[in-house]
Amino acid sequence: MPWWRDRRHRSYEQLVEDRNADELEGTLTLGPDPDEYLDRIKEYDQAGYTHVYFHQVGPDQAGFLTFAQNELLPKL
């Protein structure tokens, strides 16, 4: 089972406290490149998913919403 699916953790902080950022590679789409998000969305679309959910876990909610509004969502 991947570490991020282990339900024994009670919080996100507990889940990631002993993790290295490199362990997230390939499991999450991160960063300012909208094309990376679009590529992942295409994978889900091809698999038959009908909804996607974007979640900003960092403190800059306004920055994420600006990115989504101006760069990501217009390309969908």
pTM recorded for the entire structure:
0.67
Domain locations in the chain? Answer: 1-28, 31-76
Residue 37: other Cβ atoms inside 10 A: 22
pLDDT band at 10 (very low <50, low <70, confident <90, very high): low
Q: What are the tens digits of pLDDT across the range 28-44?
A: 888 889 999 999 999 99
If you average pLDDT over residues 14-27, what whole number do you get? 73
If you average pLDDT over residues 10-18, what whole number do you get? 68
Tokens of 57: 């876990």
